Copies of this chain bind each other. A is one copy, B any other.
Amino acid sequence: MELGEIAIALGLPLEGDPEIEIKGLAGLVDAGEGELSFVTGPRYRDAVDSSLASAFLAPPDFDLGGRACLRSAQPYPDFTRAIELLSPERATPLEVHPTAVIGDRVELGRDVSIGAYAVLGDDVYIGGRSRIDPHVTIYPDCTIGRDCTVHAGARLHSRVRIGDRVVIHSGAVIGSQGFGFAFRTDGTRARVPHRAGVVIEDDAEIGANTTIDASQAAHAHDAQGRASTRIGRGVKIDNQVQVAHGCEVGDGSTLCAGAGIAGSTRIGKNVFFGGLSATSGNLSVADGTVVLGMSGVMSDTEPGAQLVGVPVLPRRLFFRILAASKRLPELLKRVDRLERRLP
């Protein structure tokens, strides 16, 4: 595709030869001739100068010394659009595959795609242009908004309500029963039914094989889903994350792979949990908290706190203790020596 065509498709101003043929896309270091790259700011000055790319997506004020570029206020997001343009996914046929099993009172919006062997229970609604891949199970009473993608083998249990532009990756299980039991007097346990479902708001993304449990029916008839486990707007959840019953994950937060959020935890906005990090239940993680990987939060956090360790400590304190602990074996010897000299 010619650079000029890309400029028009992305709606970006072009500087340089519009007839440059763009055959691929790559980062500054990997890009070769005929490839489009991108630069986000001045600290990539040297990388741009030595890059073999034939053209760049670059901020308006970045001096490219006359090399071809598309000007963009947000070069990386526009680079992702360029990938979609040059290397589009195959179109999914806009059809309900004849093998799909569709329950009663199912409503499908326009241009919905339902894959082979998908199973939709009764009273399911799927918004326009959403795509349900093969082998997906949707239990009764679920709602999915517009422009969503549910990848192969994801499971939506009853009373899952999903907004618009949400992506659910393969093997994710949404709305399974929360891990709650009531001890009987004989020591056995009765399952606590979890009937309040899960709400996933617009633009969220749920990773492969992630599990998000339904909330207990705090209010059994809460039609508004106030009592549901709730994943906020724009939340990005990686693979194999566990979100237990009754949690709230605030808008814009990020949960990296393997993170585990215990029951009824309230996570604020723009919180970050690193890989394999976790919380105990029933606590509040304040807006902007950053929890590093493999760290465990056992009590409420302050807004913007940077935390690490099990249980977590403030980041600076953790690394100071870590550095000091390396001197601990020697410290024991030094104290031995002092004691010998001061008997």
User: Chain B contacts of A224 at CB under 8 A?
Assistant: none
Q: Is the CB of B321 within 8 A of A328?
A: yes
Binding site for B on A (CB under 8 A): 23-27, 30, 32, 35, 73-74, 76-77, 79-81, 83-84, 86-87, 89-90, 97, 99, 101, 115-117, 119, 122, 133-135, 137, 139-141, 151-153, 155, 157-158, 167, 169-171, 173, 176-177, 179, 181-185, 187-193, 195, 203, 205, 207-209, 211, 213, 217-222, 227, 234, 236, 238-240, 242, 244, 252, 256-258, 260, 262, 275-276, 278, 280, 293-294, 296, 309-311, 313, 317, 320-329, 331-332, 334-335, 338-339, 341-342
Residues of B within 8 A of A327 (CB): 332
Q: What are the residues of chain B within 8 A of A192 when measuring CB–CB?
A: 76, 80, 83
**Residue pair B335, A220 in contact (C-beta under 8 Å):** no
Docked-complex contact A195 and B278, CB < 8 angstroms: no
CB contact between A207 and one of B99, B137, B140, B176 (< 8 Å): that residue? B176
Q: How far is the CB of A273 from chain B (nearest CB, A)?
A: 12
Q: Which residues of B contact A151 (CB under 8 A)?
A: 155, 157, 176
A contact face: mostly helix, strand, loop, or mixed: loop
- Residues of B contacting A328 in the complex (Cβ-Cβ under 8 angstroms): 321, 324-325, 328
Interchain CA distance A27-B256 in the complex, whole Å = 32
Q: Indicate if the CB atoms of B334 and A90 lie closer than 8 Å.
A: no
Report yes or no: A134 in contact with B152, Cβ–Cβ below 8 A: no
- Taken together as a complex, chains A and B put the C-alpha atoms of A236 and B182 apart, in Å, by 12
Closest 7 interchain pairs by CB?
Answer: A76-B182, A137-B152, A87-B220, A77-B190, A173-B208, A211-B239, A176-B208
Task: State whether B87 touches A221 (Cβ < 8 A).
Answer: yes
A169 with B173: CB separation less than 8 A: yes
Residue pair B158, A169 in contact (C-beta under 8 Å): no
Of the residues B30, B135, B188, B278, contact of A258 by C-beta under 8 Å: B278
